[in-house]
Amino acid sequence: MRVTEQQVFGFLVNSYQRSRSRALQLQEHLATGKQVLQPSDDPGRFHRIVGEKTTLAKLEQHLRNISSATVRLDLADTALQGTTSTLSRVRQLAVQYASDTNGAAERAAGGQEVKALLQHLLQLGNAEYDENQPVFGGTSRHGFTAGLTLSTPVTLTNAVADTLTVSVDGVTSGTVDLTGSTETLTGAEVAARVQSRINADTALAAAGKSVSVTYEDARLVIVSNSEGANSTLEVIGGSARTLLGFNGGSTGNGGATFATTVETHASSTNSGGGLISQGKVLNSSTSSYDNYIVRFTGATTFDIVNVSNPLSVVPHAANTGRVAVADAGVVDLQQTTLDTYEIQFTSASQYSVRNTTTGTTLSTGNVYASGGAIEFDGVRVILSNAQGGGPATGDRFTLALSAKSVLANQAYTDGSPITFDGIELRITNGTSAPAAGDLFHVSPRTRYAGDSGSQHIEVADGEVVNTSVRGNQVYSGSDVNLFDTVQQLLAALRGNFKAGIVESLDSLDRAIRQVGAAQGDVGAVTNRLESTAASLDIAKELSTNTLSSFEDIDLARTISDLTLQEYAIQAAGATLGRIFDNTLLKYLR
C-alpha cells in the first residue's frame, strides 16, 4: 500500500491538533483545579460528582437551617432568662410589701416598680427574630376580639338573638345570621357556627377578609386571618351581641405578640339599655394599667373615674367596741359600684351590710368572726378584734371605693368614641339609652395576638424539628397568665390590699415554674440541634473529601501530562517543518 506525502502530512497535522487540544484541556484543568469539567471528560466520574454535590448541598442547607433556628432559640432563651429574673424581682417586692410594716404610701411606691417590671415583661414577650418575626408568636400576629365570660350551652333563637355585625380590618360585614331556628350549642359549636357564618358574609368575602373563631378560657375569641398592625377585629352590633359576651370585652391589633388592651364590662345592675364596645389601648407605651369606671350621671351625661386607689373603710367616731380594720380591697372590679356602704353591728356577734347610697340592705344576720372576710359587691373587708376586745352593738364602719376624676360631665352621643388616658371605647344605645347610675367597668388586660403556627426545620431527609416557643403557653397559659398575675399584684399594691398581695405569691411561683419549664424545653431542642450540627459537620467533611477525590486534579500528574503534551507539540511541529522542507512548496514561496 502506497503512503503518499499528503497522508503523512495529514496524520501529523491531526496529531499536532490533538496534542494542542489536550494541552489546552490540561491548562484548563490546572486553572480550575478540576479534572472533570463536563460529562464527556469522564461520564462515570461526572455522575458521581453530581451526586456528591447534591449531598453536600443538602448538608449545607440543613446546617443553615440549624444556624437560623439556633439564633431564634438563643433569643428565646435570653428572653426567658430575663422573664425569670424579672418575675423573681416581682415576687421579692410582693413579699416585701405583704408585710404589715408597709402602708398605702409604701405600697403605692412599690407599685411604680412593679409597673416598670410589667412593661419589661411585655418587652421580653414581644421579642422579635429578624424584622417582624415574633419569637413567641407562632408564625404571625393577628388582630382579635375577646368577649366576656360565656356560660354554655348557648341557645340561639331566630329573629330574637341570632345576629352579629363585625368589623374585620376596617371592613364592616352585613348582618351575619347565625341560625334560622332555635338551637342550643356548646362553646365549641358556637365558635364553629360564628366562624362559618362570618366567613360566608358577602361584604367581607368581596374584600378578601376572613376570621378564625375559638372558644377558650370560657369566652369566644374572634381573630382576623390577616397579619400585622393593620389586622383588627371588633363586634359592633347584632341581636346576639350580649348573649355571646360581646357587650364588652377587649380588642387589639396584630402589631405585637402580646397586645396591651383593656376589658370593658357593663354592670349587671344597669337599668338602661346601653351597650359598650370592646376596649382598646391606643398607645401601649403610655398605658397606666389602672382600673376605671364610666358612670352615667344622666341619660346624656357621664363621668369617668379612676378607681385604682385604696378602699376606704372608716369606723364611726361613736363606736364603743374594740375592732380595727385589718385589710380591705377590691376582689372583683366588675361587681364594684361607686356607692357608699355601712357594716352595722346588730350585736356583738352579728352584723348587717347596707348600701347607704340606695338605702337598701344587702344582708342581715351575718355571723362575725375576727379576721374573717366580709365580701359584697366585689369588695372584701377584714375586721379584727383588738386584744381582749370585740364589736359592740351599734358599731358601724363606712365603706367607699376611692375614685379620682378623669373626665367629668361629658356629653353622651350614641356611638361616638370615648377616649381617655390612651384608651378608646364606644357606648351605644341598645334596647334604650343608658340611664342615670349605669356603670361600665374598664380594666387592663394583656392578650396573646400570635397564632398556633409552628416553626419546623429539616435537619435530615424526612426529619424535622419543631423550634417554636409558643407564647400563649409560656406567658399566658397553660397554668397561669403571668401578665394577669403581675397586673393583679399591681392593683393590690395601688389599693393597699394586703390579701391581694399575698394571694399573688402562689401565682407568681407557678409563673416562674412555667417559664422555667419552657427554658428546659428550649435547652433540650438547642442541645439536639448542636448535636445534629456536629454530626452534619462530620458528614459534610467526608462528603467534601469524597467530592475532592472525584473532582480535584492531581497537580503533579497534570503538570507532567502538560509537559509531555508540550513536547509532543514541539516534536510534531519539528516533523512538519522537515516535511515542508522536502516539498516543492519551499521553492514556490
Do the domain assignments include residue 502?
A: no
Number of domains in the chain: 3
Q: How confident is the model at residue 25 (pLDDT cuts 50, 70, 90)?
A: low
Domain annotation covers residue 99: no
Q: CA 151, CA 148: separation in Å to the nearest integer?
A: 10
* Residue-by-residue DSSP string for 240-304: TTTTTT-SEEEEE-TTSSEEEEEEEEE-TT--S-EEEPPBEES-GGG-----EEEEESSSSEEEE
Cell of 36: 472533570
pLDDT at 557 exceeding the cut of 80? no
Q: Does position 88 have pLDDT exceeding 80, yes or no?
A: yes
What is d(CA 292, CA 441) in angstroms, rounded to the nearest whole number?
A: 6
Give the model confidence (pLDDT) of 209-239 as tens digits.
999 999 988 999 999 999 999 999 999 999 9
Which band of pLDDT confidence, cut at 50, 70 and 90, is reported for residue 131? confident
Half-sphere exposure in the Cβ direction for 462 (13 Å, CA): 0
Which domain, by its residues, includes 381? 311-401
User: Does residue 162 sit in the same domain as residue 236?
Assistant: yes
The arithmetic mean of pLDDT across residues 94-116, rounded, is 95
Residue 245: CB atoms within 10 A of its CB come to 22
Q: For the packed helices 482-494 and 104-125, what is the interaxial angle rounded to 10 degrees?
A: 160
Q: Are residues 412 and 292 in the same domain?
A: yes
Average pLDDT over residues 68-92: 94
Where residue 587 falls among pLDDT bands split at 50, 70, 90? low
Q: Of the candidates 452, 467, 485, which is a domain's last residue?
A: 452
Q: Which tens digits make up the pLDDT trace of 439-491?
A: 999 999 999 999 988 888 888 888 888 888 988 889 987 679 999 999 999 99
**From the CB of residue 384, how many other CB atoms can be counted at a distance below 10 Å?**
16
Q: What is the mean predicted confidence (pLDDT) over 324-334? A: 94
Across residues 393-419, what is the average pLDDT?
95
pLDDT tens, residue by residue, 26-39: 455 555 545 555 55
| Same structural domain, 375 and 297 | no
Q: What pTM does this model have? A: 0.84
Over residues 248-264, mean pLDDT: 95
pLDDT of residue 554 exceeding 50: no
The cell for 16 is 499536532
Say which range, 54-63, 187-196, 406-415, has the weakest mean pLDDT: 54-63
Say what the pLDDT of residue 5 is. Answer: 57
Question: In terms of pLDDT, which residue wins out, 109 or 477?
Answer: 109
SS (H, E, C) 288-328: CCCCEEEEECCCCEEEEEECCCCEEEEECCCCCCCEEEEEE
pLDDT of residue 1: 46
Quick check: 85 and 143 in contact, CB under 8 A? no
Whether 190 and 330 share a structural domain: no
Same-domain check for residues 319 and 189? no
The single-letter DSSP state of residue 392 is -
Convert 170-200 to b/e letters by CB count within 10 Å (16 or more is b).
ebebeebbbbeeebebebebbbebbbebbbe
Same-domain pairing of 294 and 434: yes
Give yes or no: residues 156 and 298 share one domain: no
Look at residues 452, 480, 514 and tell me which one is the last residue of a structural domain. 452
Residues 281, 218 within the same domain: no
C-alpha cell at 437: 347610675
Instruction: Tell me, yes or no, whether 292 lies in a domain.
Output: yes
Residue 441 lies in a domain: yes
The answer on pLDDT for 48 being more than 90 is no
Tell me, yes or no, whether 490 lies in a domain. Answer: no
Cα distances (Å, whole numbers) of residue 394 to 263, 342, 368, 384: 41, 11, 14, 16
- Written as nine digits, the cell of 523 is 435547652
In contact, 155 and 174? CB cutoff 8 Å: no
| pLDDT recorded at residue 11 | 56
Predicted local confidence at residue 132, as pLDDT: 76
Domain assignment present for residue 220? The answer is yes
Confidence of residue 495 (pLDDT cuts 50, 70, 90): very high
CA angle 460, 464, 467 (to 5 degrees): 125
Least confident of 123-132, 297-306, 348-357: 123-132
Do residues 297 and 422 both lie within one domain? yes
pLDDT at 47: 59
Residues 191 and 229 in one domain: yes
CA 443 – CA 336 distance, rounded (Å): 12
Residues 6+ apart with CB under 8 A from 67: 533
pLDDT band at 9 (very low <50, low <70, confident <90, very high): low
pLDDT digits (tens, 9 = 90+) for 276-317: 999 999 988 888 999 999 999 999 999 999 999 999 999 999
- Establish if 511 belongs to a structural domain: no
Q: Which pLDDT does position 359 carry in this prediction?
A: 95
**Residue 483 maps to a domain:** no
Cis peptide before 468 (omega within 30 of 0): no
pLDDT level of residue 82 (50, 70, 90 thresholds): very high
Q: How confident is the model at residue 118 (pLDDT cuts 50, 70, 90)?
A: very high
**178 and 237 co-located in one domain:** yes
Residues 126-133, mean pLDDT to the nearest whole number: 84
Last residue of a domain, one of 401, 435, 461: 401
- Which has more confidence, 542 or 480? 480
**Residue 571: pLDDT over 50:** yes
The residues, ordered by sequence, that sit 6+ positions from 4 with a Cβ below 8 Å of its Cβ are none
- Least confident window among 43-57, 85-99, 498-512, 516-530: 43-57
51 burial type by CB count under 10 A (0-12 exposed, 13-18 middle, 19+ buried)? middle
Distance between CA atoms of residues 426 and 278, nearest Å? 8
Helix (H, G, I), strand (E, B) or coil at 129: coil
Percent of the chain with pLDDT over 90: 69
Distances (CA, A) of 32 to 56, 293, 516, 566: 20, 79, 54, 19
Please indicate, yes or no, whether residues 416 and 330 belong to a single structural domain of this protein.
no
